[in-house]
Chains A and B, each alone.
Chain A
Amino acid sequence: LAKTTQPISMDSYEGQEVNITCSHNNIATNDYITWYQQFPSQGPRFIIQGYKTKVKNEVASLFIPADRKSSTLSLPRVSLSDTAVYYCLVGPGSGGYQKVTFGTGTKLQVIP
């Protein structure tokens, strides 16, 4: 099972780019890397998913080095509304998500 490690919290000023890195040293060949955003009293919201190299969508970019032992979520020009908890998930590989663990995530605080 791939265990993930993320910073517990980060602060950033509005308008800055924020990079959140997740370590997953024992990622399996079939595992994907998925990032979620969670606001208080809401369910996690899918942000982006990737397998290797770089993935980009209208919300974020995801950088995955060749060894895939880490990944970095990049949020361009954050605003106050980006204040949330961000979770990195690795899996599910060939099985379902029952073995995929949510850590405590990274609590991002955007400061005006």
Chain B
Amino acid sequence: NAGVMQNPRHLVRRRGQEARLRCSPMKGHSHVYWYRQLPEEGLKFMVYLQKENIIDESGMPKERFSAEFPKEGPSILRIQQVVRGDSAAYFCASSEGQFNSPLHFGNGTRLTVT
């Protein structure tokens, strides 16, 4: 059973470009979370999605950031017009959705904005 798959592992973008980060949850998991982590810091919640629905996007900046989890295909975190401050590691996690189901994480996408 494959774990949570994220790609690309590393992404370099120039300021003003768009970044697209993809996440395929574990098989059977319909709940996806995106987190952002800066060096030496903990993970910060960004957005929580279920298939075709955004459940909570309270941790995501209102401008330039968007997320989706379509009926078919991976979840996508999209950052438009990237700025240097967007440089970070972005992690995706999935769960079965029951109240005691633990999160399972991918190995992240490290975004560098030059």
- Interface on A for B, CB 8 Å cutoff? 30, 32, 34, 36, 41-46, 49, 51, 87, 92-94, 96-98, 100-105
Which stretch of B38-46, B64-72, B78-86 is in the interface? B38-46
Q: For the complex, give the distance between the alpha carbons of A100 and B110 in Å.
A: 23
Q: A42-B107, A43-B93, A98-B55 are in contact. Are A103 and B102 (CB under 8 A)?
A: no
A100 to B108, CA, bound (A): 19
**Neighbouring A residues of B31 by C-beta, 8 Å:** 96
Q: A100 contacts which chain B residues (CB < 8 A)?
A: 45
A104 CB contact (under 8 Å) in B42, B55, B97, B104: B42
Listed A/B pairs (18) with beta-carbon separation below 8 Å: A30-B99, A41-B108, A43-B6, A43-B91, A44-B105, A51-B100, A92-B99, A96-B48, A96-B55, A97-B48, A97-B93, A97-B95, A98-B45, A98-B56, A102-B42, A102-B44, A104-B40, A104-B41
Known: A98-B33, A98-B45. A43 touches B107 (CB 8 A): yes
Q: How far is the CB of B10 from chain A (nearest CB, A)?
A: 10
Q: Contacts of A36 on B, CB cut-off 8 Å?
A: 105
